[in-house]
Amino acid sequence: MVARPFFNGALLVAEHVKYSLVLPCYNEVGNLIPLIEEIREVMEKIGKPFEIIYVDDCSNDGTTEKLRELKGVYPFLRHIRHKRNLGESAGTLTGFENARGDVVITMDADLQNDPRDIPAMLKKLRRVDCVCGVRRTRNDSIGKRLSSRGANFFRNAMLKDNIHDAGCTFRAIRRESLDQLIGFRALHRFLPSILQWHGYRVVEIKINHRPRTSGVSKYGFGNRFWVGIVDIIAMYWYKRRHFIPKRYLPEDEA
């Protein structure tokens, strides 16, 4: 698998990995060790080979240097760094393109997602293609909750995709479901909808949501609400105009 030119970082020698955890991150140095330790504890109990892929979106707070150091401590840790800041969707797609697991788990890097929810998500994944987290209680600012609620209302009215928490990127996905994704800045928010439109089975599960203890949020009303409305309109167009996935196309004639 060839890495895209907009990031640095060598790929590891191919070997079988069952689970790939993809964590796009930007300036999360204070959350690295606590989250890695929580994930390690959960995944070692599951007992299958796993990898944690941090996609570093050109951090400038020491995250990059710390991840390079931690790679020598945790053999399952991989670090891929973008050459410039491209946003969470680009980080997610970079992680997908470099994941070696049969199952890809996406998480926020800010410790607000609880790794202890992973076993329940994997259990539900046995019968579907994607399991999406829905936060029981939002531990965010009032402004962030209100903008999210407004965007979700408009989204459901336009797309009718029955996705209740598009802003939650804690998901477990079968690797083969990620064959046909196009890159755009809101991909991480609309991924469950796109998978549905591509014919994959998507379900939701209630998850824990914890308050942020280190670093600052990168999203709020000012940089999400109006651009979110435009994104939903774009997704309405995509829903009506996309090609069916290549797995449904007829094979070439001999």
pLDDT, tens digit, for every residue of 193-247?
999 999 999 999 999 999 877 756 655 545 466 777 888 889 999 998 887 766 6
Calpha distance 228→230 (Å, rounded): 5
41-55, 89-103, 213-227: least confident range: 213-227
Q: So what's the pLDDT on residue 25?
A: 97
CATH of the domain at 215: 3.90.550.10
Does 62 fall in a domain? yes
Containing domain of residue 198, as a range?
Answer: 15-241
**pTM reported for the whole predicted model:** 0.83
Least Cα distance to 200 among 155, 245, 170 occurs for 245
pLDDT (0 to 100) of residue 215: 56
197 inside domain: yes
**Is 5 part of any domain?**
no
For residue 120, is it within any domain? Answer: yes
Give the model's pLDDT for residue 119: 98
What pLDDT is attached to residue 41?
A: 98
- Compute how many other C-beta atoms are within 10 angstroms of the C-beta atom of residue 51: 22
Residue type at position 34 = P
Domain-embedded: residue 164: yes
Q: Which among 131, 196, 184 has a CA at the least distance from the CA of 159? A: 196
Number of domains the chain contains: 1
What pLDDT does residue 143 have?
56
Q: Supply 12's token pair.
A: 């590891």
Residue 9 within any structural domain of the chain:
no
Plot region of 111 (φ>0 → left; ψ -120 to 50 → alpha; else → beta):
left
In a domain, 86, yes or no: yes
Q: Give the pLDDT score at 228.
A: 77
| 10 part of a folded domain | no
For the chain, what percent of residues have pLDDT higher than 70?
80
Residue with tokens 């439109």, as numbered in its chain: 197
pLDDT value for 66: 98
